[in-house]
Amino acid sequence: MAAAVAVKRAVPSRGDAGSDDGEPWIPIGAAVHTGRAFVGVIGEGDAHDFTALGDPVNTASRLVSEARAGEILVTAAAAEAAGLDTAGLEQRTLDVRGREERVTAWVARA
């Protein structure tokens, strides 16, 4: 949660450059999900990369494509793990590619 908020706040708005609107220079959205993932280096020699694999990674990746500019989509599992009070937040139920069940997420704004 803190990383998503930090990224959102780090993107300067056009208003920072003297414009009257507060639209971000880069319209970004974020998603937060939690679960067991596998993290490490894959490959060998010059063809290697540090990556994360697993269903939670795939779910977060697909949710971020659903987030509109300025939004942070937080799944129920992540909200519970972070102790996020979801009262008053917009709730969305989303069809996520690769998952049979729909995913419930709340919309937070940094």
pLDDT tens per residue across all 110 residues of the chain: 777 778 777 776 665 554 445 566 777 889 999 999 999 999 988 899 999 999 999 999 999 999 988 889 999 999 999 898 999 999 999 988 888 889 999 998 76
Tell me which amino acid residue 84 is. L
Which residues are paired to 104 by β-bridges?
93
| CATH number of the domain located at residue range(s) 2-8+24-109 in this protein | 3.30.70.1230
Is residue 109 a contact partner of residue 71, using CB atoms and an 8 Å limit? yes
What pLDDT is attached to residue 58? 92
Residue bearing tokens 């972070």 = 82
What pLDDT is attached to residue 38? 93
Q: Please tell me whether the overall predicted TM-score, pTM, comes out greater than 0.85 for this model.
A: no
Residue 37: left if φ>0, alpha if ψ -120 to 50, beta else—which one? beta
What pLDDT is attached to residue 20? 44
Is residue 28 a contact partner of residue 7, using CB atoms and an 8 Å limit? yes
Cα gap 70→103, rounded to integer Å: 20
